[in-house]
């Protein structure tokens, strides 16, 4: 038989096997391979520090015996006893029988709720009437006990007591058989259960200088992991039972608190874009191609009633000039872009008629002004030539074209 996996998982090695064999030979005991494996299983049970380990130890031993084709009923009983004792140590007072997957005789009692004390006293599961088997011809019960809330009502006709019930297993045996050892390990385990909420609490306080929300979050997060509260919680949510789930859930609070701390910073980084002042919208009234053989030119008339100050009007006209220069294309495939775009921001939303300019923006991306001549005087070589006005249009007394033109002041020329 290969070295059983459960023994390997529990840290037993070939070396332990050899030592056990020597000890068995010296003591004059049977030293068949399986006897030595059984001896190692017994050692594991003796080394158990809590009832959960004890339940697992007895279950493993029972399974090993069953696979050998031997009777394992007593060890199945001890595993259930260890489970019930574990519940008792958590302050649980009632249990439910889960036996739907066992034989006909056992599944009749599936879902019955009984007092935990009665369960320990009568140990109805595994039942001596059970007909289920696994590897051997002997009984292998699939029935077990599940914790329930104190408020659950006890079932009227509980399953009958089992005839022979072994002495309940005890943690007090310990590896050295000293009661004081077990006592200290019990207390240290009790203390160990408080380490997780304590650790979370300390982490929460460490967050305080950076973010009081993260701190408060972790302090609140630590509360359900305080043992009495946690035990009550797993009654409500049985999926949370198990040491590793408890630690994993608990420690999850730390990255969450970190996220709460970093979230405002991440949002802050994006805010400059959000707070950038948006320019008023504009509407394109008319586009007119004014190209000559030397230069492709486009005249655009736009309307933007929300732009009120001279600066705003200039900016809107410039933005329009730039956007239109980039998007408006000529039919000439060799040079599709306009070399010169001139935008006039109009006072009235009219597509034709006399121009009443509030701002003018001329844009020449090549830096050669409106003419495009390289030999031109310096003052005619520009990329932008912008002027604007802050004049208000009063419909009852409309300013003349001349007054509009006169009010335009240079805004930018470079």
**Going edge to edge, which strands form the sheet with 297-303?**
283-289, 297-303, 340-346, 357-363, 384-388, 409-413
Total residues interacting with Zn ion, rule: CB under 5 A: 5
Chosen residue from 62, 106, 114, 196 binding Zn ion by CB under 5 A: 106
Neighbours of 209 (CB within 10 A): 8
Interface stretch with Zn ion, choices 64-72, 125-133, 282-290, 342-350 (CB under 5 A): 125-133
Interface stretch with Zn ion, choices 49-57, 130-138, 153-161, 381-389 (CB under 5 A): 130-138
Query: Measured from the CB of residue 117, what is the shortest distance to Zn ion in angstroms?
Result: 23
Query: Measured from the CB of residue 60, what is the shortest distance to Zn ion in angstroms?
Result: 20
Query: Measured from the CB of residue 57, what is the shortest distance to Zn ion in angstroms?
Result: 22
What the block records as the tokens of 87 is: 């519940």
| Greatest CA separation for the chain | 125
Nearer to Zn ion, 141 or 222 (CB): 141
Distance (Å, whole) CA 296 – CA 210: 60
Nearer to Zn ion, 102 or 219 (CB): 102
125 binds Zn ion (CB under 5 A): no
What the block records as the tokens of 295 is: 């230069």
Helix axes 243-275, 212-222, angle to 10 degrees: 160
Interface stretch with Zn ion, choices 67-75, 77-85, 90-98, 105-113 (CB under 5 A): 105-113
Instruction: Output the CA angle 315-318-322, nearest 5 degrees.
Output: 140
**SS3 for 373?**
coil
Interface stretch with Zn ion, choices 30-38, 128-136, 282-290, 294-302 (CB under 5 A): 128-136
Interface stretch with Zn ion, choices 104-112, 150-158, 202-210, 383-391 (CB under 5 A): 104-112
Nearer to Zn ion, 130 or 347 (CB): 130
Interface stretch with Zn ion, choices 115-123, 132-140, 254-262, 406-414 (CB under 5 A): 132-140
Nearer to Zn ion, 86 or 124 (CB): 124
Using alpha carbons, list the distances in angstroms from residue 391 to 205, 346, 403.
61, 12, 9
Nearer to Zn ion, 65 or 132 (CB): 132
74-103: contacts with Zn ion (CB under 5 A): 102-103
Chosen residue from 44, 82, 130, 364 binding Zn ion by CB under 5 A: 130
Distance (Å, whole) CA 225 – CA 69: 44
16-75: contacts with Zn ion (CB under 5 A): none
Using alpha carbons, list the distances in angstroms from residue 49 to 4, 81, 182, 187, 215.
22, 15, 8, 11, 35
Distance (Å, whole) CA 194 – CA 52: 18
Query: Measured from the CB of residue 142, what is the shortest distance to Zn ion in angstroms?
Result: 7
Query: Measured from the CB of residue 134, what is the shortest distance to Zn ion in angstroms?
Result: 11
Chosen residue from 132, 201, 218, 298 binding Zn ion by CB under 5 A: 132
| Per-residue binding letters, 390-409, with Zn ion (x by CB under 5 A) | --------------------
What the block records as the tokens of 392 is: 């208000």
**SS3 for 260?**
helix
User: 104 burial class (0-12, 13-18, 19+ CB within 10 angstroms)?
Assistant: exposed
Query: Measured from the CB of residue 256, what is the shortest distance to Zn ion in angstroms?
Result: 45
* Contacting residues toward Zn ion, per CB under 5 A: 102-103, 106, 130, 132
């Amino acid at each position: 038989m290969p070295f059983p996996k459960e023994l390997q998982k529990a840290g037993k090695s070939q070396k332990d096997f050899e030592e056990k064999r020597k000890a068995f030979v010296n003591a004059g005991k049977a030293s068949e391979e399986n006897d030595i494996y059984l001896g190692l299983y017994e050692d594991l049970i003796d080394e158990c520090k809590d009832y959960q380990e004890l339940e697992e130890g007895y279950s493993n031993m029972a399974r090993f015996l069953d696979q050998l084709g031997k009777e394992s009923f007593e060890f199945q009983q001890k595993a259930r006893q260890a489970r019930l004792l574990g519940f008792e140590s958590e302050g649980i007072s009632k249990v439910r029988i889960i036996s739907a997957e066992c034989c006909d005789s056992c599944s009749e009692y599936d879902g019955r709720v009984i007092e935990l004390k009665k369960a320990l006293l009568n140990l109805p599961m595994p039942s001596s009437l059970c007909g289920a088997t696994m590897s051997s011809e002997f009984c292998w019960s699939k029935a077990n006990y599940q914790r329930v809330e104190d408020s659950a009502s006890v079932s009227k006709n509980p399953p009958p007591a089992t005839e022979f019930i072994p002495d309940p297993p005890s943690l007090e045996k310990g590896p050295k058989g000293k009661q004081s050892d077990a006592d200290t390990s019990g207390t240290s385990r009790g203390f160990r259960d408080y380490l997780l909420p304590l650790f979370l609490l300390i982490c929460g306080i460490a967050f305080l200088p950076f973010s009081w929300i993260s701190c408060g979050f972790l302090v609140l997060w630590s509360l359900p992991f305080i043992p009495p509260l946690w035990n009550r919680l797993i009654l409500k949510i049985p999926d949370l039972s198990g040491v590793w789930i408890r630690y994993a859930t608990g420690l999850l609070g730390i990255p969450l608190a970190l996220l709460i701390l970093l979230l405002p910073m991440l949002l802050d980084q994006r805010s400059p874009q959000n707070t950038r002042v948006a320019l008023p919208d504009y509407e394109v009234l008319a586009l007119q191609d004014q190209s000559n053989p030397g230069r492709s030119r486009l005249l655009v008339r736009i309307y933007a009633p929300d732009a009120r100050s001279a600066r705003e009007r200039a900016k809107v006209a410039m933005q329009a000039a730039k956007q239109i220069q980039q998007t408006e294309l000529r039919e000439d495939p060799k040079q599709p872009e306009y070399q010169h775009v001139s935008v006039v921001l109009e006072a009235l939303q009219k597509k034709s008629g006399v121009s009443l300019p509030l701002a003018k923006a001329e844009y020449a991306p090549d830096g050669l002004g409106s003419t495009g001549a390289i030999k031109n005087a310096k003052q005619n070589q520009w990329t932008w030539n912008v002027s604007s006005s802050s004049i208000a249009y009063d419909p009852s007394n409309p300013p003349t074209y001349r007054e509009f033109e006169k009010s335009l002041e240079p805004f930018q020329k470079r």
